[in-house]
């Protein structure tokens, strides 16, 4: 089994640390990458962390994760979580397990954030713990 885990991040997550820190915290995406790299090393995993503001990139990367034989994908689709049937279809089209990740807890926010297309196909969701949501998701992958 591969030790590679894709960590895919959707729109506006490049602004972490600046964007609404009262909701998303003060950690930047680079901070999260550093935390994940450290934890991945402890778990004998490797990560490939990417971010895009474009839905099609995320779809392509999901396909790539399967083609590369990745062990799993951690996906924070951000706003696309609530809107993207394309991501839902891409997750259902691959055999690679996808774990949904959110810094905040969408269920405690605006009503439109309560529905998750990603969650319909993800094997598990980690949310509401800031950067720790990513770390817990990675630890879950190590136990799978």
Candidates 24, 80, 117, 134; catalytic one: 24
114 tagged catalytic:
no
pTM: 0.91
Domains and CATH numbers, the chain: 1-26+34-76+102-114 (3.40.50.9100)
Candidates 80, 102, 117, 134; catalytic one: 102
Instruction: Give the Cβ contact number of residue 35 at 10 Å.
Output: 16
134 tagged catalytic:
no
Write the pLDDT tens digit of every residue in 96-137: 999 999 987 767 556 755 568 899 999 999 989 989 999 999
- Exposure string (b/e) for 108-124, b if CB count within 10 Å is 16 or more? eeeeebeebbbbebbeb
Q: Is the pLDDT score of 83 beyond 60?
A: yes
Residues of the chain with pLDDT > 90, as a percent, come to 71
């Amino acid at each position: 089994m591969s030790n590679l885990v894709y960590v895919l991040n959707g729109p506006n997550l490049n602004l972490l640390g600046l964007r609404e820190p009262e909701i998303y915290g003060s950690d930047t995406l680079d901070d999260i990458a550093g935390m994940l790299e450290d934890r991945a090393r402890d778990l004998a995993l490797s990560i490939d962390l990417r971010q895009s503001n474009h839905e099609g990139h995320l779809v392509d990367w999901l396909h790539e994760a399967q083609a590369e034989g990745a062990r799993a994908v951690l996906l924070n689709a951000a706003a696309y979580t609530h809107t993207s049937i394309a991501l839902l279809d891409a997750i259902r089209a691959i055999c690679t397990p996808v774990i949904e990740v959110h810094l905040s807890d969408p269920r405690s926010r605006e009503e439109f954030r309560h529905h998750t297309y990603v969650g319909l196909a993800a094997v598990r969701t980690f949310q509401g713990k800031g950067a720790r949501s990513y770390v817990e998701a990675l630890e879950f992958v190590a136990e799978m």
